[in-house]
């Protein structure tokens, strides 16, 4: 059965959350409560929204992306800090993979001892690097026309087949990016001029707006089968980032730590701020921490170097030493700036020492000495 005609409740709810309805389906109002396939009801639209999207995108194993971060510190804790050798081994195995659910399952089966969220984050970063190196050749006018004419030919011969998805995999291009190129060429043929980004993005998010039904189904298939690009993935990434910022605030509140978040800091006139500024500094593993930055991704060499230059050193200059949490892990060798004031962790620290704790620990030996006297 075509994914565009998939009537499974979790598929339809995921599409509804994004206004990404199948072309044959009428838009339905977003529900406040969602039922998971196992029958569990999620009262939080935020949590159910993301869980359903990820479950649909790559199977039920993607629940780990949301449950693992909240359960860190339990017996099931997975260390997401990888050695450079482990990281390079994973990267080598991603070089020939495509950004589809089937290939993500293959990667998980290859590395069963690593967190699936870590594997997905590493693959996504590597695939984006690969795409940046090759995307220009797919935007050449003659190549676009070749892709478009081939799509038309295959769609006429096999109107129910996922021809656009198969074409994207064959030429090693992200399905969502292939969908964008073909849709843009289609609209250009209708009006004789390039469509606006607003129109193009609107049709990619809601394929039912596309006047050609077969193309609409192909666009939909590409969008929901791409785990690196497209409106579905953009929504997921935004939701994950928000989820982990909420998680960080919850953890701080549990420890009764006073802090200012990014919105409060911006209201105070700061233009570039970390996610959290601690009103009273704490110590983590013997290092003073004034601020905390949440990164819902894996920290590889390229991304960490970029963050250091564009964010972390700026925070250090303004607010002093701080902590960066890469929730989906990082290359262990990158945690080499501790003495200079930037500490890396893959979870919320459990050994936080506050001013109150330090004072009590200092007073304890004194009281013991007085008792001996």
* Cβ-Cβ contacts under 8 Å for 62 (sequence gap 6 or more): 54, 55, 116, 117, 120
- pLDDT at 102 (0 to 100): 79
- Structure tokens that stand for 60 in this block: 């039920």
- pLDDT at 8 (0 to 100): 38
- Helices 163-170 and 141-157, packing angle to 10 deg: 140
- Structure tokens that stand for 12 in this block: 């339809």
* Beta carbons of 67 and 103 less than 8 angstroms apart: no
Cα separation values, 261 from 55, 258, 264, 273, Å: 30, 10, 5, 9
- pLDDT at 354 (0 to 100): 87
- Helices 101-110 and 84-94, packing angle to 10 deg: 140
**3-state SS string over the chain?**
CCHHHCCCHHHHHHHHHCCCCCCCCCCCCCCCCEECCCCCEECCHHHHHHHHHHHHHHCHHHHHHHHHHHCCCCCCCCCCEECHHHHHHHHHHHCCCCCCHHHHHHHHHHCCCCCHHHHHHHHHHHHHHHHHHHHHHHCCHHHHHHHHHHHHHHHHHCCCCCHHHHHHHHCCCCHHHHHHHHHHHHHHHHHCCCCCHHHHHHHHHCHHHCCCHHHHHHHHHHHHCCCCCCHHHHHHHHHHHHHHHHHHHHHHHHCCCCEEEHHHHHHCCCCCCCCEEEEEEEEECCEEEEEEEEECCCECHHHHHHHHHHHHHHHHHHHCCEEEEECCCEEHHHCCCHHHCEEEECCCCCCEECHHHHHHHHHHHHHHHHHHC
Ramachandran category for residue 300: left, alpha or beta (phi over 0 → left; psi -120 to 50 → alpha): beta
* Beta carbons of 226 and 175 less than 8 angstroms apart: yes
- pLDDT at 278 (0 to 100): 96
Q: Quick count: other Cβ atoms within 10 Å of Cβ 98?
A: 20
Name which of 231, 206, 227 is nearest 4 in CA terms.
206
* Beta carbons of 186 and 145 less than 8 angstroms apart: no
Q: What is the pLDDT along the chain (373 residues), one digit of tens a residue?
A: 333 344 434 344 444 444 444 454 433 332 222 233 333 323 333 333 344 444 444 443 344 454 555 555 433 456 689 999 999 999 999 988 888 777 888 888 999 889 888 999 999 999 999 999 999 999 999 999 999 999 999 999 999 999 999 999 999 999 999 999 999 999 998 877 888 999 999 999 999 999 999 999 999 999 998 989 999 999 988 999 999 999 999 999 999 999 999 989 989 988 889 999 999 999 999 999 999 999 999 999 999 999 999 999 999 999 999 999 999 999 999 999 999 999 999 999 998 998 765 555 545 455 455 555 5
- pLDDT at 45 (0 to 100): 31
Measured distance CA(260)–CA(269) in Å, rounded: 13
Name which of 98, 103, 121 is nearest 240 in CA terms.
121
- pLDDT at 52 (0 to 100): 41
């Amino acid at each position: 059965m075509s994914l565009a005609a998939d009537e499974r409740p979790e598929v339809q709810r995921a599409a509804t959350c994004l206004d990404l309805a199948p072309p044959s389906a009428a838009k339905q109002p977003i529900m406040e409560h969602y039922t998971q396939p196992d029958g569990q009801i999620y009262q939080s639209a935020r949590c159910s929204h993301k869980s359903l999207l990820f479950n649909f995108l790559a199977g039920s194993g993607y629940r780990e992306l949301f449950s693992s971060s909240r359960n860190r510190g339990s017996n099931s804790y997975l260390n997401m800090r990888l050695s450079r050798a482990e990281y390079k081994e994973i990267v080598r195995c991603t070089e020939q993979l495509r950004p589809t659910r089937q290939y993500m399952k293959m990667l998980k089966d290859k590395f069963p001892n690593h967190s699936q969220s870590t594997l997905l984050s590493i693959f996504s970063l590597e695939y984006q690097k690969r795409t940046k190196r090759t995307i220009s050749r797919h935007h050449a006018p003659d190549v676009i026309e070749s892709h478009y004419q081939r799509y038309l030919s295959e769609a006429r011969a096999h109107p129910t087949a996922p021809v656009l998805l198969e074409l994207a995999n064959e030429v090693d291009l992200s399905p969502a990016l292939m969908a964008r190129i073909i849709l843009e060429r289609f609209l250009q043929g209708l009006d004789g001029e390039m469509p606006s980004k607003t129109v193009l993005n609107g049709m990619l998010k809601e394929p039912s707006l596309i006047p050609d039904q077969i193309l609409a189904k192909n666009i939909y298939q590409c969008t929901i089968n791409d785990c690196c690009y497209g409106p579905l993935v953009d929504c997921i990434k935004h939701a994950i980032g928000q989820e982990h910022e909420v998680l960080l605030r919850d953890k701080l509140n549990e420890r009764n730590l006073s802090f200012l978040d990014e919105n409060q800091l911006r209201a105070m006139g700061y233009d570039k701020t970390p996610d959290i500024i601690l009103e009273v500094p704490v110590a983590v593993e013997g290092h003073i921490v004034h601020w905390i930055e949440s990164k819902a991704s894996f920290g590889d060499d390229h991304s960490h170097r970029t963050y250091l230059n564009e964010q972390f050193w700026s925070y250090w200059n303004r607010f002093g030493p701080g902590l960066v949490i890469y929730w989906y892990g990082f290359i262990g060798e990158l945690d080499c700036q501790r003495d200079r004031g930037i500490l890396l962790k893959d979870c919320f620290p459990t050994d936080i020492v506050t001013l109150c704790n330090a004072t009590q620990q200092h007073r304890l030996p004194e009281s013991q000495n007085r008792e001996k006297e």
